[in-house]
Chains A and B, each alone.
Chain A
Amino acid sequence: MSSPDLNVRNVARLARLALSEEEITTFQSQLGRVLEHIEHLKKLDVSGVEPTAHTYPVFNVTREDTPGASLPREAVLANAPRAANNLIIVPKVVES
């Protein structure tokens, strides 16, 4: 396992999360300690061990492809931060 070389500023950017300078310093130190603790996992030999993603083996669960009721448009738009003309309004994302 790699030694803990967490760079909170970079990871926060990946997570689309702005942080204050104070938070960056605090998280760097607190998560550094958590990662040091986690290091003991490398003591274990896990060669040949299958990973567990879910504890109960069910795979490719599908249901009948039958049309059903969806949420009414008004119910969805009622929770939107900004809406107009039956649309959710977001900042412009395409270059003009």
Chain B
Amino acid sequence: MNLASLTISEIQEGFRAKTFSPVDLLRALELRIESAEPTIQAFLSRDFHEALKRAGQADVSLPLGGIPIGIKDVITVKGQPCTAASKILRGYTAPYDATVITRLKAAGAIPFGRLNMDEFAMGSSTENSAYQVTRNPWDTSRIPGGSSGGSAAAVAAREVPAALGSDTGGSIRQPAALCGCVGLKPSYGRVSRYGLIAFASSLDQIGPIARTTRDCALLLNAIAGRDPMDSTSLDRPAEDFTAGLGRDLKGVRLGIPKEYFVDGMDAGVRAAVESAIKHCADAGAELVDISLPHTEFAVSVYYIIATAEASANLARFDGVRYGNRADAPKDLMDLYLRTREEGFGSEVKRRIILGTYVLSSGYYDAYYLRAQKVRTLIRRDFEAAFEKVDAIVCPTSPDVAFPIGERTNDPLKMYLADIFTIAANLAGICGISVPCGFVEEGGKNLPVGLQFLGRSLDETRLLGIADAYERASGWSRQTAPA
């Protein structure tokens, strides 16, 4: 049995039957990491001995007892580095646990390793990391997606059974799609962001990337819930997110938004997604044509709101209290200017400039306020659609993974590729990407993701629908060659 390729559910069976122990599992993962990492480079760092100590003391009767979970480098784990893949935080050691980490530990899980990402979660390819380029395990000349590219690549490369990522405009779902994993963005307010380095506070959510929908539900069970340390986290009755699993698609109403099937999509992606939708219909789902008329404005609205909020959130990186500081500043202004020049990479600087501009005096109404109003229209589109359907089905990304370096000089093209994922963040609803086939390019199979979008706080139903598709289609758990 190859322990490194098991799902969380299978690991739990193994623990219960005493076929193997948490220590056996962690050693198997470390062996796999040692052979895969020189190529994949998903981890910025990891503390095997600390994890091994926790595995030795693990209580496997807990919900996630003894399960190692990879952590995106934007979520704090006490005593471990946390850099958001930025030079400005090189050498920073987190002094406290994020709430999701406190909860994972309480559920018995072992936070294991710091996973690469686009700097401050800004990007769709993980190429904006200040430290290293992560490679897609399906074709190592290609990007893993982003910004949670390290999380998705580590799961796909069998280095960890599951990982946490964060999703501001698709940063969990898109890399999950491009690496052949399952990735869930919970509804806004479902999961506490305390200890998540903030990018765009009205959009950010933490969520899982795993091998199956069931594993995502198990992780959501552990991390969801009200937290006094994050006033945007919602006080909801306790819910078992696995409650909708194991059903079929009979009678489920799935909306097909016509705006999501337009020119410009990769032909192979379109074919895989259309075939997946037909599969849903064959399995008993009722397909409903719907319209989300403001879709074409979503990217513009997103890049105004996200950059505006980022420019405010990143003001804290000023070289005063933590992080790196420029050498020998001649005064305070010089300290700010050079610390930020030296510490931030190009994409972060570009977004700070755009965000500062759209918030600046004389432009606020024309850009930020107007974007917030169009955001209302986008939200209403979804509310109208969800009166007719249980979930929406569409592609996760218009493309498969592209070659490393292909888009780094064309930010607008990179931004436009987020078209199918960002509306969910703007509307605050939940979304999940599950594998739905491959496109062959240059003799390599490149994964395609199918996205299901659900009502705000309707994760139990959404997970049930994704799980039903996943079991009926059999596209999950394919093994990447690298």
Contact = CB atoms under 8 A, between A and B. Distances in A.
A58 B372 contact: no
Contact of B350 (A31, A55, A79, A92): A31
Given A17-B337, A19-B349, A23-B346, A41 B297 contact: yes
A76 B354 contact: no
Contacts of A23: 346, 349
B234 interface: yes
Interface residues of B, number: 74
A56 B428 contact: yes
B354 A34 contact: yes
A78 B356 contact: no
A84 interface: no
B360 interface: yes
Given A16-B318, A27-B349, A78-B95, A56 B234 contact: yes
A27 B354 CA distance: 9
Contacts of B202: 53-55
B303 to A, nearest CB: 7
A40 B367 CA distance: 11
B188 A34 contact: no
Interface in B334-371: 334-338, 340-341, 344, 346, 349-350, 352-354, 356-357, 360, 362-363, 366-367, 369-371
Nearest to A93: B332
A82 B319 CA distance: 10
A31 B363 CA distance: 15
Contacts of B428: 54-56
- Interface size class on chain A is 35 or more
Contacts of A52: 372-373, 375-376, 379, 426
B370 A46 contact: yes
A96 to B, nearest CB: 13
Contacts of B315: 16
A19 B341 contact: yes
A61 B344 CA distance: 33
B376 A50 contact: yes
Interface in A71-96: 71, 75-76, 78-82, 88, 90-93
A14 B360 contact: yes
A51 interface: yes
A91 to B, nearest CB: 5
Contact of A63 (B188, B228, B330, B350): B228
B321 A30 contact: no
A39 to B, nearest CB: 8
Interface in A5-55: 6, 8, 11-12, 14-19, 23, 27, 30-31, 33-34, 37-38, 40-42, 44, 46, 49-55
Given A56-B188, A90-B332, A49 B377 contact: yes
B189 A58 contact: yes
Contacts of A19: 341, 349
19 contacts: A2-B363, A6-B353, A18-B338, A27-B350, A33-B412, A37-B412, A41-B371, A41-B374, A51-B372, A54-B202, A54-B428, A56-B188, A56-B428, A56-B456, A58-B189, A63-B231, A71-B96, A78-B93, A91-B329
Interface of B: 92-93, 95-96, 187-189, 202, 228, 231-232, 234, 294, 296-297, 299-301, 303-304, 311, 315, 318-325, 329-338, 340-341, 344, 346, 349-350, 352-354, 356-357, 360, 362-363, 366-367, 369-377, 379, 411-412, 415, 426-429, 456
Given A1-B370, A14-B360, 15 more contacts: A6-B353, A6-B357, A16-B318, A17-B337, A34-B354, A46-B370, A51-B372, A55-B189, A63-B228, A75-B95, A78-B95, A79-B93, A81-B319, A91-B335, A93-B332
